[in-house]
Structure 1
């Protein structure tokens, strides 16, 4: 699932909106343009909110009214790979709107907030030089904090410490609504190939504290994949053909066959069901941390 950083509170001037259709955004191109604001600071729009609140859709919808380019500020979506698990916006969903720092970072490295800032600043400058408005979108608040503000710590939300002239939009939704959406989204991810993605990067004794493996939806399946892998090793199919076992053959059909098994004592069914429930639980917990940090 998308995002794992959500500790810092938003600046005091953050705008809140009940949903992306009612977001308070400036109504004219002049207001949203690239001219410098107070004290000569460049203008930037920042769209914040919890997982599933509709941040990406709002940003793309803005492109129908203003010349914008989007800078992704989700700490898991910056990595290449696991597009389903991290819920990246697809090419079709982007509707031709340029997206930056989306699926560009080596998945095996730790992309720190400082590295995000050092990457985002020249991108924002380039966007402005193209006479477009930079729109920073994401739920990783510490990325946003370090990118926008010149000082760390408790004074980070002060307007005079901000590097940019920002319009903050917080896309809001009630926690029960988000919980329901999370349940549906995880089920859709399973159907879209989540398990195939995670099986392709599965390694025994993997480090789940760095890079893309930190994403919700990866570690939760570790035990299931370990047992599944052992069963593959023990099948006559591979031993008789003298082939090496592969984890890449886990498709939707395999998974549905396991989930729909009538044998409730089937270890694979138990482990797979538990793993899916953990993904939903951990995503709901993420939502609560995000909502708390921007309330």
Structure 2
């Protein structure tokens, strides 16, 4: 096994940021962001990025490393994080991956070889053109025909993943699900994987309140700055919180409708995150529904992590 590693996952708005700081302080940890959108500079409010004053001196990695015009892939995340884990461990600190982008985190801690996944840029461009000309649902229907299992997992509007699944099928004749089955992933680290969860109604209420807070903090101004730069067909602008405000700035929705859609999309995303984590990773879940018992829950999680790390050291 490799280095010791703590992974803290969970749906949006469940309280990962606050918990991660509390744990890192007690575990001598450094935090690696496991969020596919917090890598972008200038996208702070909409991605609920941790503020410098909230870090309490804990080093954070992989935040603000890309311009919103740039793309970012799972493979790139994997290439950046693995050396970081080694480097943090060499300094005698405990690496902690914290975030909600399951596929990114999975790609790091398991032995997946993304470079082996076949690709065909011409075909990908052809599919992008179809989506622009005829709408994204045309591609989604195509995916449902050739790979219904992936279609169940992938949101119809996540065009990038729909295209990727179609591309793998085009190149190999296998669905992405079948292709992934040929991979036998092994856990690369002495990892303790902890998940935060919450009763659904409470989580949805927190999500709604968080969106209202984002608006109060200046979400509209943040998105307008990107809009004025002419950023359009970028990966970053597909993020929840940005695409809805773009629809408002384009005149397709009223501001109230955009915010309502943002809340709804965030709630649906949280539901998908929980489903994904439960199906894909061996997680020890802790319920955060009663936030007044935060300190008790923190101590319980800490005890669990320390016990697991001790076991791994003794093996």
TM-score above 0.5, yes or no = yes
Change (3 A) 1:107 1:206: closer
**Structure 2 partner of 1:275:** 258
Q: Please report the TM-score for the alignment, with normalisation by the length of structure 2.
A: 0.63
State the secondary structure of the residue aligned to 2:25: coil
The answer as to 2:200 corresponding to 1:217 is no
Q: Residues 124-163 of structure 1 correspond to what in structure 2 (within 5 A)?
A: 124-151=85-112, 153-154=180-181, 161-163=186-188
Change (3 A) 1:125 1:272: same
**Structure 1 partner of 2:36:** 75
Q: CA RMSD in A?
A: 2.1
Rg: which structure is higher?
1
State the secondary structure of the residue aligned to 2:227: coil
Q: Residues 191-270 of structure 1 correspond to what in structure 2 (within 5 A)?
A: 191-202=216-227, 206-208=231-233, 210-227=234-251
Aligned length: 212
The structure with the largest helix share of the pair is: 2
Q: Any stretches of 5+ residues in structure 2 without a counterpart?
A: 114-179, 279-315
Asked whether the equivalents of residues 149 and 157 of structure 1 are also in contact (C-alpha less than 8 Å), the reply is no
**Structure 1 partner of 2:83:** 122
Structure 1 runs, 4 residues or longer, greater than 2 Å off: 151-158, 203-208
For residues 189 and 154 of structure 1, what CA distance do their matches in structure 2 show? 40
Offset from partner CA, 1:121-154 (integer Å, 9 cap, x none)? 1111110111000000110011011111113634
Which of 56, 60, 81 aligns to 1:95? It is: 56
Q: Please report the TM-score for the alignment, with normalisation by the length of structure 1.
A: 0.68
**How much does 1:83 deviate?**
0.3
Asked whether the equivalents of residues 3 and 85 of structure 2 are also in contact (C-alpha less than 8 Å), the reply is no
Q: Any stretches of 5+ residues in structure 1 without a counterpart?
A: 1-38, 228-266
Change (3 A) 1:223 1:55: closer
The answer as to 2:272 corresponding to 1:289 is yes
**How much does 1:203 deviate?**
5.0
Change (3 A) 1:196 1:204: closer
Asked whether the equivalents of residues 24 and 31 of structure 2 are also in contact (C-alpha less than 8 Å), the reply is no
For residues 10 and 184 of structure 2, what CA distance do their matches in structure 1 show? 16
For residues 231 and 60 of structure 2, what CA distance do their matches in structure 1 show? 30
State the secondary structure of the residue aligned to 1:69: strand
For residues 204 and 119 of structure 1, what CA distance do their matches in structure 2 show? 28
